[in-house]
Amino acid sequence: MDFQSCVKINREWDIVGARQIGREHAKKIGFGTVDQARIATAISELARNIYLYADTGKICFEIINEIDRKGLWILAVDNGPGIADISQVMEDGFSTSGGLGAGLPGVKRLMDQFDIISETGKGTEIRTVKWVRK
């Protein structure tokens, strides 16, 4: 898929840039304030993970315009070390922040669809979608 826009994550402040672009898209599509804030938080988590564990990567956005629904597709890609045990990281309470609800399980809760493809030594690709509530 050809993404409309991508933000490279190289430094911590790039996380802010990614949030910014994500929020602009979300506003344009018609998400309410609560969902805009949720999307921004999800982007933070994904971008922070890239910054912390993979050094560099990117966050890409795509607006989905279907006949009966609209949504925002967010993709986080990196060529970092990958995640060996995905089931484990998706367990509540596993993240290093432990019991604060953030991390990847948090992203899954904030968004409507969530998928991870990761291979150790090669990298990680996280795809997630949020639909506009009608």
Catalog residues that contact another protein under the rule CB under 8 A: 32-34, 37-38, 40-41, 92-93, 99-102, 105-106, 109-110, 133
- Which residue is nearest to ligand ATP, using beta carbons? 103
Residues from 27 through 86 that contact ligand ATP (CB under 6 A): 45, 49-50, 53-54, 78, 80-83
Q: Which is nearer to Mg ion, 71 or 103 (CB)?
A: 103
Q: Which stretch binds ligand ATP (CB under 6 A): 5-13, 18-26, 66-74, 96-104?
A: 96-104
Give SS3 for 36: helix
Q: Between 14-29 and 33-49, two packed helices, what is the crossing angle to 10 degrees? A: 150
Q: Which residues, other chains included, contact 86 with Cβ-Cβ below 8 Å and sequence gap of 6+?
A: 116, 118
Give the distance, in angstroms, between the CA of residue 129 and the centroid of all CA atoms in the same chain: 9
Q: Angle at the Cα of 67 (from 61 to 68), degrees rounded to 5?
A: 95
Cβ atoms 47, 9 nearer than 8 A: yes
Candidates 36, 44, 49, 124; binder of Mg ion (CB under 5 A) is: 49
Taking CB under 6 A as the rule, does residue 5 contact ligand ATP? no
Question: Min. distance of Cβ 33 from another protein in angstroms?
Answer: 6
Q: Number of helices and strands (H, E) in the chain?
A: 4, 5
Between 29 and 54, CB nearer to Mg ion? 54
Binding site for ligand ATP (CB under 6 A): 45, 49-50, 53-54, 78, 80-83, 89, 95-97, 102-104, 124
